[in-house]
Structure 1
Amino acid sequence: MDDSTLAARLEQLGLSEKEVDTYLSILRTGEAKASEIADDTGVSKRYVYSISESLEERGFVDVNDHVVPTTIRARPPEEVIASLTDQLTEMETALADRFADTEREPQQFDVIKSRVTVVKRLSEYIANAESEIMLSVPQQHLPEIGDELAAAVDRGVLVMLVVNSTDRIDATDVAGKASVARAWEQGMPIMLTVDGQYGLVAPADMVLRTNSDQRAIAFVQKQIVPILSGSFLGNYWPMATELHVAEPRPLPATYRSFRHLVLQATLRLRADEDVTFSAEVYPVQAGGDTRHIEGRVVDTRQGMAEPQTNAYPIEHTLVIELGEETATIGGPGSFLEDFEAGEARLS
């Protein structure tokens, strides 16, 4: 490290320019009289005494004022670094406590310029998913985030995965990494939505090449992420070929993702099992008060697992028996179903 860089680093630790000059002068000799340091740095001897006292308080030097004339000795660098490290470690705890107490709002829009940051953000969003992930990704990149996807599946997150590759892909490549996985040979961007709140869009080249000059966008906005989910479901998912559908998860279970609930109900019905739905719902069209309903699921409309039974890509609906009649239930934002439900239970 050259002198200018070293000086800059010392200034970052809070030393002034004159303090840096004085300290480096002391280091060069190991120990010197105030007059010698003054001649070397071009400041007055009185000023050297003042700066030396400041440096002593910070642990950089020892001032030997019990001898005549007074000398200033540099402390061994390893002792200085050890002292600074202890101070920073001590300060870290205090800063962390205050940082944890602050309610943090994620950046709404973030332009990402590097591959490393794209990979880090993908992994971070997937690791924090609580209910639902939609992801399209090149096959070459899948191993880098495979562990995060598998962990999400294990904790009950709905993972809808499209793997993009011109090579042959089979179910073993995606087993355990998705609730439902598909493959598509055509080029497509990396797209990720998590829990209807977090989203990321990136050109595939950004994770396939280390020197790409393209940009990605990450965003946190509940009004925009559903638009990206709709594009994923409407433009890419139907064009891809189904590779893998995971086995139904154990029941009873409560779901925050209504799409996940519909998928699980579909798989149970196809296995000729009886499934009961229960939730707090409210009427979509007429309005009215929230009510609790419980009934047997008799049909589903969905496009996650083949064969597709929905009329449009974002339709994911349950048909349940309510006495002698049937009713349709949709998730948040429903507009054609009879009722809208948030968190719901299957048994």
Structure 2
Amino acid sequence: MDDRELADLLEQFGLSEKVVDTYLTLLELGEAKASQIADAAGVSKRYVYSVSKELESRGFVEVNDHVVPTTIRPLPPMEVIESLSESVESMRPALEERYTATARDQERFEVIKSRVTVLKRIGELVGRAESEITLSLPYDVLDEVEDELRAARERGVLVSLVVSGVEPHDDLALDGVASLVRVWHELMPTMLTVDSRTGLISPGEMVARSNSESQAIVFAQPHLGPVIVGSFFGNYWPMAAEAYTTDPDPLPAMYHNFRHAVLQAALCERAGIDLDVTVSGRMVHTDGPTELHGRVVDIRQGLLEPANNSFPVENAFVVETDEGTYSIGGQGAFVEDFEADAVEFTAAE
């Protein structure tokens, strides 16, 4: 870092350019008399006395006015940094108290022109996932983000993956990289969503080739995320061939992501495991209970083959309770009887 860069940083702490220049001169001199500092900095001795008091109050120097003549000693840099850090940290409670989240980041878009940056952003976004990831990308670059995907799975994130540009065959290394993997021989757009809030969209050739002139978009837009998820499951997922599915989770199991719950119900059905369920949420069309207990008697989904949903993005299950039979949907459900916030499965007795 050169002197100008250092001076610019110091000025950010409220010091004027002239004060900074005087302080940097003192750092080079070490402990010195005011007259020596004045000569070296090209300022008056009176100014040095004035500045030294300000710098002393800010924790930058020590003024030894008990000796004649008075000397000024710069404090060790570590002490200065600690003092500045404490000053900055002391502002945090007041700033947080006054901060109003305007969701600016939620409206952010970033244009990317580099293939390397696209793959880097995918890795970064996958690393932040808490609940669900949908991703399509060429199989040839899967290894670029494989570690991040496996780590997401270890955190319990639902990962639905389509790898494109390759024919389905037995030696694809897919075990554990996602919850569900489908394969499509055609090259398709690279599409990523993380927790239905953030994501990335890129033409397929931009990731597949290093010399593409295409551009990608990273978005942080909670209203756009569900649209991309719907396109992923409605337009591309049904076209691809099922290549890998995870095993059912150990029971009992709790889910706050409804698509994850439907997947587990379908995996248990495939494995011949009957399920009892407790669902928390609300009735959609009428007043009624906020919690249902019963047996899962039907599943409508398009996550696993064979799909049996009545429209591409339908994922639901039906619960038979002592009070009646109810269809269960996730957040925003409008076709089903009950909108679920949380689902807990246990093995049926």
TM range (shorter): 0.7 to 0.9
2:237 partner SS: helix
Q: Which of 72, 77, 83 matches 2:79? A: 83
**Alpha-carbon shift at residue 231 of structure 1 (Å):** 0.7
Amino acid at match of 1:22: T
User: Residue 118 of structure 1 contacts residue 207 of structure 1 at CA under 8 Å; is this kept in 2?
Assistant: no
Residue in 2 that maps onto 1:287? 286
Residue 109 (structure 1) aligned with residue 107 (structure 2): yes
Residue 186 (structure 1) aligned with residue 182 (structure 2): no
Amino acid at match of 1:81: P
Residue 219 (structure 1) aligned with residue 220 (structure 2): yes
Please identify, of 258-267 and 227-236, the stretch whose mean Cα deviation from structure 2 is larger. Answer: 258-267
**Alpha-carbon shift at residue 150 of structure 1 (Å):** 2.7
Distance 2:60 2:120 in 1: 38
Residue in 1 that maps onto 2:153? 153
**Alpha-carbon shift at residue 180 of structure 1 (Å):** 0.8
2:160 partner SS: strand
Where does the alignment leave 5 or more consecutive residues of structure 1 unmatched?
Answer: none
> Structure 1 pair 99/215, CA: closer, same or farther in 2 (3 Å)?
farther
Residue in 2 that maps onto 1:249? 249
Amino acid at match of 2:218: I
Superposed CA deviations along residues 144-179 of structure 1, whole A, max 9, x for unmatched, are: 543443343334332211223458775763321221
Q: CA RMSD in A?
A: 3.8
Distance 1:48 1:93 in 2: 30
Aligned length: 340
Map 1:94-243 onto structure 2 (within 5 A). 94=90, 106=103, 107-113=105-111, 122-123=122-123, 125-139=125-139, 141-166=141-166, 173-196=173-196, 198-203=197-202, 205=206, 214-221=215-222, 223-243=223-243
Superposed CA deviations along residues 49-78 of structure 1, whole A, max 9, x for unmatched, are: 2123333444555555456554555x4xxx
User: Residue 140 of structure 1 contacts residue 208 of structure 1 at CA under 8 Å; is this kept in 2?
Assistant: no
Superposed CA deviations along residues 263-282 of structure 1, whole A, max 9, x for unmatched, are: 22222222233222332465
User: Residue 253 of structure 1 contacts residue 345 of structure 1 at CA under 8 Å; is this kept in 2?
Assistant: yes
Amino acid at match of 2:44: S
**Alpha-carbon shift at residue 124 of structure 1 (Å):** 5.5
**Alpha-carbon shift at residue 237 of structure 1 (Å):** 1.1
Distance 1:282 1:83 in 2: 58
User: Residue 138 of structure 2 contacts residue 207 of structure 2 at CA under 8 Å; is this kept in 1?
Assistant: no
Distance 1:322 1:60 in 2: 72
Superposed CA deviations along residues 99-142 of structure 1, whole A, max 9, x for unmatched, are: 77768565212122567876676455544544332222344554
1:314 partner SS: coil
1:161 partner SS: strand
Distance 2:177 2:91 in 1: 37
> Structure 1 pair 60/275, CA: closer, same or farther in 2 (3 Å)?
closer
Distance 1:237 1:268 in 2: 21
Percentage identity across paired residues of the two chains:
46
Residue in 2 that maps onto 1:306? 305
> Structure 1 pair 7/340, CA: closer, same or farther in 2 (3 Å)?
closer
1:108 partner SS: helix
TM superposition score normalised by structure 1:
0.78
Distance 1:170 1:110 in 2: 41
> Structure 1 pair 324/81, CA: closer, same or farther in 2 (3 Å)?
closer
> Structure 1 pair 278/72, CA: closer, same or farther in 2 (3 Å)?
closer
**Alpha-carbon shift at residue 208 of structure 1 (Å):** 7.6
User: Residue 33 of structure 2 contacts residue 69 of structure 2 at CA under 8 Å; is this kept in 1?
Assistant: yes
2:76 partner SS: helix
User: Residue 164 of structure 1 contacts residue 187 of structure 1 at CA under 8 Å; is this kept in 2?
Assistant: yes
Map 1:315-326 onto structure 2 (within 5 A). 315-321=314-320
Distance 1:250 1:325 in 2: 28
Amino acid at match of 1:303: G
Distance 2:328 2:145 in 1: 34
Amino acid at match of 2:313: I
Please identify, of 128-137 and 94-103, the stretch whose mean Cα deviation from structure 2 is larger. Answer: 94-103
1:90 partner SS: helix
Residue in 2 that maps onto 1:269? 269
Residue in 2 that maps onto 1:51? 51
Please identify, of 203-212 and 52-61, the stretch whose mean Cα deviation from structure 2 is larger. Answer: 203-212
User: Residue 111 of structure 1 contacts residue 215 of structure 1 at CA under 8 Å; is this kept in 2?
Assistant: no
Please identify, of 53-62 and 206-215, the stretch whose mean Cα deviation from structure 2 is larger. Answer: 206-215
User: Residue 200 of structure 2 contacts residue 216 of structure 2 at CA under 8 Å; is this kept in 1?
Assistant: no
